[in-house]
Amino acid sequence: MKPVRPLPRRRPVAHPNVAAQAVELKELRARLAEAEDTLRAIGSGAVDAVVVAGQSGNQVFTLQGADHVYRLLIESMNEGALTLTPEWVITYANRCFAQMIKGSLEQIVGSSFRLLLSAVDQRAFQTLMAGVTRSGSKLQLSLLSGRGSSIPVQVSMRALPAAGSSPVTLGVVVTDLTETRRTEELLRSLAQRVVQGHETERGRVALDLHDHVTQLLCANLFRCQALVEELTVRGGPSLKAAIRMRVMLGQTAGEVERISQQLRPGVLDLLGLEAVLRSTGREFEERSGLTLNLTVVPLSGRLPAGAGLAFYRMFEEALRNVEHHARARQVSVDLREEGAVVRLTIRDDGLGFDPERLPARRRGKPVLGLLGMRERAAAVGGAVAVSSGRGIGTEIVVSIPLLPSVAPSPTAVRRRSPVLTR
The sign of the dihedral angle between the CA atoms of 144, 145, 149, 152 is negative
The DSSP output letter for 9 is P
The answer to the question of residue 412 being in a domain is no
Identify any residues that bridge with 343 across adjacent strands, giving them in sequence order.
336, 399
In this structure, the answer to whether residues 106 and 129 fall within a common structural domain is yes
Write the single-letter amino acid at 222: F
In this structure, the answer to whether residues 28 and 97 fall within a common structural domain is no
* Among candidate residues 238, 264, 290, the one where a domain is terminated: 264
Angle (nearest 5°) at CA 142 between 139 and 143:
115
Q: Where is average pLDDT lowest: 99-103, 260-264, 272-276, 341-345?
A: 260-264
The answer to the question of residue 318 being in a domain is yes
Interatomic CA distance for residues 165 and 148, integer angstroms: 39
Residue 162: pLDDT over 80: no
The answer to the question of residue 419 being in a domain is no
Identify any residues that bridge with 292 across adjacent strands, giving them in sequence order.
331
Interatomic CA distance for residues 307 and 344, integer angstroms: 12
294 touches 344 (CB < 8 A): no
Q: Are strands 291-296 and 330-338 parallel, antiparallel or unpaired?
A: parallel
Confidence band, pLDDT 50/70/90 cuts, at residue 173: very high
Identify any residues that bridge with 154 across adjacent strands, giving them in sequence order.
140, 175
How many domains, the chain? 4
In this structure, the answer to whether residues 101 and 128 fall within a common structural domain is yes
Greater pLDDT, 107 or 8: 107
Q: Is residue 384 within a helix (H) or strand (E), and if so which, with residue range? A: strand 383-389
Residue 165: pLDDT over 90: no
In this structure, the answer to whether residues 399 and 278 fall within a common structural domain is yes
Chain segment 29-88, per-residue pLDDT in tens? 888 888 777 777 665 556 666 666 666 666 656 555 556 667 777 888 889 999 998 899
Chain segment 263-281, per-residue pLDDT in tens? 877 778 778 888 989 989 9
pLDDT over 70 for what percent of the chain?
79
Interatomic CA distance for residues 219 and 271, integer angstroms: 27
In this structure, the answer to whether residues 329 and 214 fall within a common structural domain is no
CATH number of the domain where residue 125 is located = 3.30.450.20
Q: Phi/psi of residue 195, each to 5°?
A: -65, -45
CATH number of the domain where residue 311 is located = 3.30.565.10
In this structure, the answer to whether residues 295 and 330 fall within a common structural domain is yes
The answer to the question of residue 387 being in a domain is yes
DSSP result, 85-133: -TT-BEEEE-HHHHHHTT--HHHHTTSBGGGGS-HHHHHHHHHHHHT--
Q: Which burial class, exposed, middle or buried, applies to 385 when counting CB atoms under 10 A from its CB (0-12, 13-18, 19+)? A: middle
The answer to the question of residue 41 being in a domain is yes
* Among candidate residues 237, 264, 291, the one where a domain is terminated: 264
pLDDT confidence of residue 61: 60
In this structure, the answer to whether residues 278 and 362 fall within a common structural domain is yes
Q: Phi/psi of residue 341, each to 5°?
A: -130, 145
**Greatest Cα-to-Cα distance within the chain, rounded to the nearest angstrom:** 155
Q: What is the average pLDDT across 205-230?
A: 87
**Cα atoms in the 13 Å half-sphere on the side-chain side of 99:** 11
Mean pLDDT of the chain: 80
The answer to the question of residue 133 being in a domain is yes
* Among candidate residues 176, 197, 223, the one where a domain is terminated: 176
DSSP result, 237-286: HHHHHHHHHHHHHHHHHHHHHHHHHHHS-HHHHHH-HHHHHHHHHHHHHH
The answer to the question of residue 187 being in a domain is yes
The answer to the question of residue 417 being in a domain is no
In this structure, the answer to whether residues 278 and 358 fall within a common structural domain is yes
In this structure, the answer to whether residues 148 and 87 fall within a common structural domain is yes
In this structure, the answer to whether residues 284 and 390 fall within a common structural domain is yes
Domain span holding position 363: 266-404
Interatomic CA distance for residues 97 and 46, integer angstroms: 26
Whats the size of the chain, residue-wise?
422
In this structure, the answer to whether residues 249 and 328 fall within a common structural domain is no
In this structure, the answer to whether residues 343 and 281 fall within a common structural domain is yes
> Three-class SS of residue 159?
strand
- Helices 369-379 and 178-208: crossing angle, nearest 10°? 90
Other Cβ atoms closer than 10 A to 161:
9
Question: Which of 296, 308, 270, 266 shows the shortest CA–CA distance to 402?
Answer: 308
Q: What is the average pLDDT across 414-421?
A: 40
